[in-house]
Structure 1
Amino acid sequence: MSKIISMRGFLTSSIGVTCATALALPLTTLPATTASAATATPTAPHASTAADAATAIPGSTRSLPLAPLTGQRVLGIAPVQGLYRPDGEHFSLLGVVWTDPDIELHGRVQVRTRSAATGEWSGWQDIETHNADHGPDPGTAESTARGVRGATAPLWVGDAEGVDIRVRADDDADAGSAPTGGPRLSHPARPPLPSGLRLELVDPGNEAPSEGTPADMPRTGLDTDTDTDTGPGTDAAQAAQAANADVAHFGALEIPALGKGATEQELAHLKGHVKGHVKNKPHIGPRPRIVTRRGWGADEKLRGGFAYTKKVKAVFVHHTASGNKYTCSQTPSVIRSIYRYHVTSMGWRDIGYNFLVDKCGTLYEGRAGGVTKAVLGAHTLGFNNNSTGVAVIGTYSTTKPSGAAVKAIAKLAAWKLGLYGVNPRGKTYLTSAGGNLYAKGKKVRLNVISGHRDGFATECPGKRLYAKLGTARSGAARYQGR
């Protein structure tokens, strides 16, 4: 049974939407302006239990309204909103959200932050504004849920305590133009900024859980093959861990790597949630090591339930567009931050990606529901059904991805696609749920390992990462023994 839960009830029409484009010109620095109100973004209600308390990861999201900067002329007279708070906050990742997810932000967002360690201000950085290409499919329950918001991509800034941000609408150079000898034409002067602009400051916390055991994390009442983890006697943290019971012991911080022979034996014992693999000797890559949600410290109280699609026919490769200024030891914090941003700030059911990989090549479990299962993600707007999404943490428009990261993509694809009998070098058909490249209902022939831009007009996964997908395909096929 396929339970399709996804997101955003809109279709982006602008071709060439970018996922991580570096904007060249900095905003002119403005006099300090402080927003008067600040509220914490509400989180999804969830029953608290002793097990939750034991695995909870300290962290928070601070949501601050942006204020119009009146009387300023910045690069013309385009509308500008901003916020200046030199201290009093603690965060490591930020982004901008707005009320209506159907509206795009046509403009520039730039920010500088004050280091909590040194007190020094960074230079101005651009935040990627075109983020609508990620998300649940149009018209689905997740996309139309109350509290879903439009948003920029998140930006990792490290340990910070002060922020200065400016959001400026695009100039409309053609507005108000007049034909020769004729009256001046009346056009809207410039596109307005979306309403309800808020700055989200995410503190990921700094604790990691210890290894759990079946004794201290009981599995009573859990059904790992159901479509949801909500119900009497269920606990979100327990359910997320039980979903991986076919490949790891309960409460594990990681799913260990397996050799090829052991992986083939394991495939023969997996239950009906893995469909489509051949009965003869399978083509499957060795199972790679994967850090679990418990391993990177997911606060399971934040998310909604599980959702599944029928099978996995394709892998979409992404980048997070969150910048490259992180160390591999910070990766769990980066993922916790993106998770909070997707759920608490943007209103999604869970983190959008099924898997993530850092610059050192470490793989991480993303959206909850079990790494072997066909978990429905929110990564490629229009093509989440029957696919899985892996995001390389960072921005790869001009930066070359590490060889370790590309190798990790190949290993993951060889194993995950092998569970479903799919050739990484092949092509497949997926049906579009709607987007700016393919209309709803259109069957599209795609590479089994595709970049985000193959299903949506976007720069994601960045030019330099996209150029490595051929290497990932050949590597994955080799790991499968093809």
Structure 2
Amino acid sequence: MRRTALVAPACGPGLAAVLALVLCAAGVDRTVAAHPAPVVGRPAPAHTTARPAIVPRSRWIDDRTHKRQPPPRYDDKVVAVFVHHTDSPNTYDCADAPRIIRSLYAGQIGPRQWDDIGYNFVVDRCGTIYEGRAGGVDRPVTGAHAQGFNHRTAGIAALGTFTAGASVPRAVTDAIAALAAWKLGLADIDPRSRVRLVSTSGQSRYAAGTSATLPVLAGHDDGFPTTCPGAALTAHLPALRQAAARLQGRP
């Protein structure tokens, strides 16, 4: 997997027409290791929920922007989810979401020289969930979305900018809650709990090798010094944790 210097301060696409936008996947940790696929035959987790509808990446990627990339990397399971925003315009038609995601991808594999889009999932303002990073939506794909804490986590990016004063559509929060409930439920993780993760990068909020206790359903800024996912979306995180837990059938 190609390594690259990390110089961007925050989050956004990256094509020439949208270079003014900032990418929320800033501070990506490219130091990843391959892990074996999950063992088949384990007992089903106690708290699960149905997988929400997820649009495959084939709906937004195309031959003009797709590049040959190394095989996906995997962890043993996902124990935490980081919520992001893409710091891109909010006034888009949802039919244009595939094009916008394609621009995000092009900016990350082009000027930034990453191997793939960093986020595991992208949610548009209509609540449509898109597969982001390759590797299989139901597998613990090692992302590239939260420097220092990419292992055993998934990244969900809300397509738009949700800084203070912005309106967060109900469709966005409902989709994030449903996606987090399903993804964390695969490992029977309570979205309201906290988890201990070990930082792999001193460019995060924690020195490399430091054990940090973070919310299971966290904002990008919990692990990396950034304003992402924006004050407006961050304010919804407590309710998102509760909603995800209810979807898992927890009291």
Give deviations 1:306-326, integer Å, cap 9, x for gaps: 122232110000000112131
Partner residue, 2:112: 346
The reply to whether residue 416 of structure 1 matches residue 183 of structure 2 is yes
CA RMSD of aligned residues (A): 2.9
| Shift of residue 457, structure 1, vs aligned partner | 1.1
Task: Describe how 1:197-346 pairs up with structure 2 within 5 A.
Answer: 273=38, 279=43, 282-299=46-63, 301-305=66-70, 306-346=72-112
Any runs of at least 4 consecutive aligned residues in structure 1 with deviations exceeding 4 A, and if so which?
A: 5-12, 17-20, 274-277
Instruction: Letter of the 2:90 partner, please give it.
Output: N
Unaligned runs of at least 5 residues, structure 1: 21-60, 64-92, 96-125, 143-225, 228-271
Whether the 8 Å contact between 2:73 and 2:142 is mirrored in structure 1 is yes
Query: Deviations 1:293-314 (Å, cap 9, x if unpaired)?
Result: 1122344841412122232110
Q: Deviations over 1:15-66 (max 9, x none)?
A: xx6558xxxxxxxxxxxxxxxxxxxxxxxxxxxxxxxxxxxxxxxx976xxx
Residues 330-356 of structure 1 show CA distances to partners (whole Å, capped at 9, x for unaligned) of: 111111111111112211000110000
CA distance in 2, matches of 1:451, 1:275: 31
- Following superposition, the deviation at residue 447 of structure 1 comes to 0.5
Q: Is the 8 A contact 2:199 2:212 kept in 1?
A: yes
Superposed, 1:72-471 pairs within 5 Å as: 93-95=17-19, 127-128=21-22, 131=23, 134-137=26-29, 140=31, 273=38, 279=43, 282-299=46-63, 301-305=66-70, 306-398=72-164, 399-434=166-201, 435-471=203-239
Q: Which amino acid aligns with 1:366?
A: G
Structure 1 letter corresponding to 2:217? I
Deviations 1:75-124 (A, max 9, x none): xxxxxxxxxxxxxxxxxx421xxxxxxxxxxxxxxxxxxxxxxxxxxxxx
Q: Secondary structure at the match of 1:457?
A: coil
How far the C-alpha of 1:367 sits from its partner, in A, is: 0.3
Q: What is the CA-CA distance between 1:141 and the residue it aligns to?
A: 7.1
Specify the alignment match of 2:240 in structure 1: 472
Matched residue type, 2:117: I
Which amino acid in the other structure matches residue 286 of structure 1?
A
2-structure distance, mates of 1:62, 1:370: 26
1:379: how far off? Answer: 0.6
Residue type at the aligned position of 1:304: Q
Superimposed CA distance per residue, residues 250-276 of structure 1 (whole angstroms, 9 cap, x where no aligned partner): xxxxxxxxxxxxxxxxxxxxxx62789
1:209-261 CA deviation, whole Å, 9 max, x = no partner?
xxxxxxxxxxxxxxxxx98xxxxxxxxxxxxxxxxxxxxxxxxxxxxxxxxxx
Equivalent residues of 2:6, 2:26 under 8 A apart: no
More helix by share: 2
Paired AA for residue 351 in structure 1: I
Residues 1:400 and 1:137: Cα distance change in structure 2 (over 3 Å): same
Q: Work out whether residues 10 and 26 of structure 2, in 8 Å CA contact, stay in contact via their aligned partners in 1.
A: no
Q: CA 1:132 to 1:440, structure 2 compared with 1: closer, same or farther past 3 Å?
A: farther
The answer to whether the 8 A contact 2:109-2:116 is kept is yes
Structure exhibiting the larger radius of gyration computed from Cα positions: 1
CA distance, structure 1, for counterparts of residue 124 and residue 26 of structure 2? 19
- Check 1:480–1:432 CA distance in 2 against 1; reply closer, same or farther (3 A cut): same
Is the Cα contact below 8 Å between 1:375 and 1:388 reproduced in 2? Answer: yes
> Match of 1:345, SS?
coil
| Identity across matched positions, percent | 43
The answer to whether the 8 A contact 1:383-1:433 is kept is yes
The one-letter code matched in structure 2 to 1:315 is: V
3-state secondary structure, aligned to 2:18: strand
- The equivalent of 1:167 in structure 2 is none
What do residues 338-396 of structure 1 show as CA deviations (whole Å, max 9, x unaligned)?
A: 11111122110001100000000000000000001111111111111110000000011
CA contact 2:24–2:87 (8 Å) conserved in 1: no
Counterpart of 1:468, as a letter, is H
2:211 corresponds to which letter in structure 1?
A: K
TM-score (ref. length: structure 2): 0.87
Distance (whole Å) between structure 2 residues aligned to residue 446 and residue 275 of structure 1: 29
Q: 1:135 to 1:367 in 2, by over 3 A?
A: farther
Alpha-carbon contact 1:133-1:458 (below 8 Å) kept: no
Number of aligned pairs? 245
Contact residue 400 and residue 464 of structure 1 kept, 8 A:
yes
Q: TM-score, normalised by structure 1?
A: 0.47
Secondary structure of residue in 2 paired with 1:407: helix
Distance (Å, rounded) in 2 between the aligned partners of 1:426 and 1:334: 33
Instruction: Choose between structure 1 and 2 for higher RCO, CA contacts under 8 A separated by at least 6 residues.
Output: 2
Paired residue type of 1:325:
T
**Per the alignment, in what secondary structure is the counterpart of residue 331 of structure 1?**
helix
Distance across 1 between alignment mates of 2:143 and 2:158: 16
Deviations 1:374-428 (A, max 9, x none): 1111111111111000000001113121111011000001111111121111110
Change (3 A) 1:467 1:62: closer
